[in-house]
Amino acid sequence: MHILTIETTCDETAAAIVTDQLEVKASVVASQDDLHRRFGGVVPEIASRAHLERILPVIHETLQRANLTLADIDAVAVANTPGLAGSLLVGLAAAKALSLAISKPLLAVNHLQAHIYACRITAGSDDVFPCVGLIISGGHTSLYRCQGPLDFTLLGATIDDAAGEAFDKVAAMLGLSYPGGPSIQKAAEGGNTHAYALPRSFLGEDDRLDFSFSGLKTAVRYRIAGPGRPDFSQIELGPQQVADLAASFQEAVVDVLLDKTFAALRLTGLQKLCVGGGVAANARFRMRLQEESAARDVRLHIAPLNLCTDNAVMGAIAIERYKAGLFEDLSLEIYPGLVRRQDSLQPGRG
Ligand code: KG4
Ligand code: ZN
């Protein structure tokens, strides 16, 4: 059986075809980085217009690469939550139209659950559930207790910026290009992680599984501009200062991510950890997480690099909903908002 999955939650227009055995037949990701770069972040209206232009060519190319036609597709899945409203609408409209045209079931994908499911896809026969799930992306930094692929309970989340958002904004302050994560990672290679003392929010408060990155962002800003400069104009940074600030900032983020994740494992008593989302592509984070997980006998599943940033392959989680008989009809809506803190994560229902 073949599922066509569609992903347009933010600024990547993506489609994939996966089988019920989690075999990836084709995957296409049209990145919009070039369109948003000069603004230093995603501009929602530009994103939704670009999705409109690209969604049909992307689906077409996916079918071509898989050497399949629409007649071979058994279900259509689409991420309908959470994300940018205009972006989500484009994917949902395309998925509804296709499902109607080929008379095949429509399935909803929760984008956050999909980021964790990326670990399941490459885990082979290894059962990744139950686990602690850490989602670190441009829009989210959250820890979940994941009983199964469709059963998530929120343990903690950022109270302000997401980790990826902090990477993007700090990169802009340092004059590095968008997206900020890869630029900071590269700049940090030549930097000293101890050069600047930067804050680590809630560190050591073991019963609190929340994150906060806006203070860290402001701290970097003060290192560059300083409160003594009333116009907040930036001082000229030399390449070594940029490298040192990038390394110190990256280390502060990684310290907090690791601290809270291992606290979540301790508090829940779970032994397995799944990590997904764009920031999980960070080399320093991956290295330290692998080392510390091994030292603590934690069974770590971290999404492979190509499945960390947004893609449609992780929409393979729709297979779980297909098996559970959770089909949608044309009344399916988008749920752009963030999950309310007290809520469990309802698939497809934000
Ligand atoms: O998961 P994703 O593609 O989109 C959302 O769902 O938000 O994550 C995008 C975020 C961006 O903020 C980007 O800067 C960050 O992931 N990112 C990284 C790296 N690669 C991407 N952050 C740190 N290090 C990286 N290597
Ligand atoms: Zn994402």
Q: Where in the sequence is the domain holding 245, given as residue range(s)?
A: 127-302
**121 inside domain:** no
Distance in angstroms (rounded) separating the CA atoms of residues 256 and 134: 12
| Assigned domain for 293 exists | yes
Looking from the CA of residue 308, the nearest atom of ligand 1 is 1
Q: Are residues 70 and 180 part of one domain?
A: no
For residue 33, the ligand closest to its alpha carbon is 1
Instruction: Evaluate whether 137 touches 277 at the Cβ level (below 8 Å).
Output: yes
In a domain, 57, yes or no: yes
> Measured on CA atoms in the order 85, 217, 133, 313, is the torsion positive or negative?
positive
In the 8-state DSSP scheme, what is residue 328? B
Indicate whether 244 belongs to any domain: yes
pLDDT higher than 60, residue 139 = yes
Residues 6+ apart with CB under 8 A from 243: 187, 188, 189, 190, 191, 192
Same domain, 325 and 291: no
Residue 238: phi and psi, rounded to 5, are: -80, 165
Q: Which residues does ligand 1 sit against, CB inside 6 Å? A: 10, 137-139, 164, 167-168, 179-182, 185, 277-279, 281-282, 309-310
The token pair that represents 163 in the structure block: 């980790």
Q: Which atom of ligand 1 is nearest to the CA of 83?
A: 6
pLDDT digits (tens, 9 = 90+) for 58-85: 999 999 999 999 999 999 999 999 999 9
pLDDT at 280 over 50: yes
Residue nearest to atom 16 of ligand 1 (CA): 278
Question: HSE on the CB side for 172, CA within 13 Å?
Answer: 16
- Do 281 and 315 belong to one domain? no
Residues 80-135 have pLDDT tens digits of: 999 999 999 999 999 999 999 999 999 999 999 999 999 999 987 778 999 999 99
Which residues make Cβ contacts (< 8 Å) with residue 155, sequence separation at least 6?
132, 142, 143, 144, 145, 209, 264, 267, 268
Helix (H) or strand (E) holding 247: helix 239-268
Question: What is the best residue among 88, 110, 167, 308 to mutate for testing ligand 1's pocket, by most ligand atoms within 8 Å of CB?
Answer: 167
Percent of the chain past pLDDT 70, that is, above it, reads 93
CB 54 within 8 A of CB 95: no
233-241: average pLDDT:
82
Q: What is the pLDDT, as a whole number, of residue 342?
A: 42
Nearest ligand atom owner, CA of 168: 1
Residues 295 and 160 in one domain: yes
CATH of the domain at 142: 3.30.420.40
* For ligand 1, atom 3: residue with the closest CA: 309
Claim to verify: residue 44 and residue 149 sit in the same structural domain = no
The C-alpha torsion from 320 through 326 and 327 to 328, rounded to 10°, is -110
50 and 21 in a common domain: yes
What is the predicted pLDDT for the residue at 344?
A: 56
The reply to whether 273 and 334 lie within a common domain is no
Does residue 350 sit within a domain?
A: no
> Domain for residue 263, yes or no?
yes
Residue 219: other Cβ atoms inside 10 A: 17
Ligand 1: distance of its center to the CA of 104 in Å? Answer: 33
* Distance of CA 81 from the midpoint of ligand 2 (Å): 10
CA 348 to the chain's CA centroid: 16
Give the per-residue pLDDT at 350. Answer: 38
In angstroms, what is the span from residue 282 Cα to ligand 2's centroid? 14
User: Is the predicted pLDDT of residue 340 greater than 60, yes or no?
Assistant: no
pLDDT per position as a tens digit, 212-221: 999 999 999 9
Band of pLDDT at residue 232, cut at 50, 70 and 90: low
Whether residue 64 is found in the same domain as residue 147: no
Q: How many CA atoms lie within 13 A of 82 on its CB side?
A: 13
Atom of ligand 1 nearest to the CA of 171: 14
299-325 in b/e form (b: 16+ CB < 10 A) is: bbbbbeeebbbbbbbbbbbbbbbbeee
Q: What are the start-end ranges of the E strands in the chain?
A: 2-7, 12-19, 24-31, 75-81, 106-110, 131-136, 141-148, 151-157, 272-276, 299-302, 344-345
pLDDT of residue 136: 98
Q: How far is the CA of 276 from the centre of ligand 2 (A)?
A: 8
Average model confidence (pLDDT) across the chain: 93
For the segment 256-275, the average pLDDT, to the nearest whole number, is 97
The answer to whether 282 touches 168, Cβ cutoff 8 Å, is: no
Residues 166 and 278 in one domain: yes
User: What CA–CA distance (Å, rounded) separates 348 from 27?
Assistant: 22
Examine the domain organization and report whether 159 and 233 are in the same domain.
yes
Residue 207 within any structural domain of the chain: yes
Sheet bearing 131-136, strands edge to edge = 299-302, 272-276, 131-136, 141-148, 151-157, 344-345
Give the pLDDT confidence score for residue 38 in this predicted structure.
86
User: Residue 42 Cα, ligand 1 centroid: separation in angstroms?
Assistant: 12
| Residue among 309, 311, 314 to mutate when testing ligand 1 (max atoms within 8 A of CB) | 309
Specify whether the CB–CB gap between 317 and 117 falls below 8 A.
yes
Confidence of residue 41 (pLDDT cuts 50, 70, 90): confident
Are 135 and 281 members of one domain? Answer: yes
Neighbours of 200 (CB within 10 A): 17
Residue closest by Cα to atom 10 of ligand 1: 138
Same domain, 185 and 295: yes
What average pLDDT does the segment 22-46 reach? Answer: 93
CA 244 to chain centre: 26
* Ligand 2 is an ion; residues with CB less than 5 A from it: 137, 310
- Cα 189 to averaged position of ligand 1 atoms, centre (Å): 18
pLDDT at 276: 98
Within a domain: residue 122? no
CA-proximal residue: ligand 1, atom 7 (nearest): 138
Count how many domains the chain has.
2
Write down the number of H helices and E strands in the chain: 10, 11
